[in-house]
């Protein structure tokens, strides 16, 4: 089973930026968590992070017929990117959304969520542990499809 984990802008700054919102765990800690989950769950996890919308769209398109599922934290692009939503729709790969903070309880402008309308499930407010929850949920979902 192959799962692509995509992170959007500023996720590479975890542990540095707005620690009161995103926590003190670093981006490297997140990458180690993904490696641990891959090993524990026997999943091939590919990770991609970019601060550029077009690069994220390109990565989603590259996943077509190569990846079984996507876990995405589009970060700020969650609230602005129809292009990422359209890319997800175009590849028709089951997708789970994850957010480190509880975006549904934050600023008004964060209440617009383009990705959620496509995602089969959303996890928010669990810190980086939300990634593990999202991956395991997606794994079980994909196993149920077979």
Residues with a catalytic annotation lie at: 22, 99
According to DSSP, the β-strands at 121-124 and 95-99 are parallel
Query: What does the alpha-carbon distance between residue 45 and residue 31 come to, in Å, rounded to a whole number?
Result: 10
Closest CA to 131 of 97, 94, 95: 97
The SS3 of residue 4 is strand
Query: What does the alpha-carbon distance between residue 56 and residue 29 come to, in Å, rounded to a whole number?
Result: 22
Query: What does the alpha-carbon distance between residue 116 and residue 98 come to, in Å, rounded to a whole number?
Result: 10
Longest CA span, the chain? 42
């Amino acid at each position: 089973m192959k799962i692509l984990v995509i992170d959007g802008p500023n996720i590479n700054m975890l542990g540095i930026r707005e620690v009161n919102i995103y926590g003190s765990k670093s981006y490297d800690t997140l990458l180690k968590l993904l490696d641990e989950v891959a090993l524990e769950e026997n999943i091939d996890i590919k990770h991609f992070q970019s601060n550029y919308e077009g690069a994220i769209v390109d990565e989603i398109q590259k996943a077509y017929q190569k990846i079984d599922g996507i876990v995405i934290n589009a970060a700020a692009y969650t609230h602005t990117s129809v292009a990422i939503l359209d890319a997800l729709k175009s590849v028709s790969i089951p997708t789970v959304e994850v957010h480190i903070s509880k975006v549904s309880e934050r600023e008004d402008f964060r209440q617009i969520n383009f990705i959620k309308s496509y995602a089969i499930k959303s996890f928010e407010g669990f810190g980086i542990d939300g990634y593990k929850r999202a991956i395991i949920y997606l794994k079980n979902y994909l196993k149920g499809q077979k």
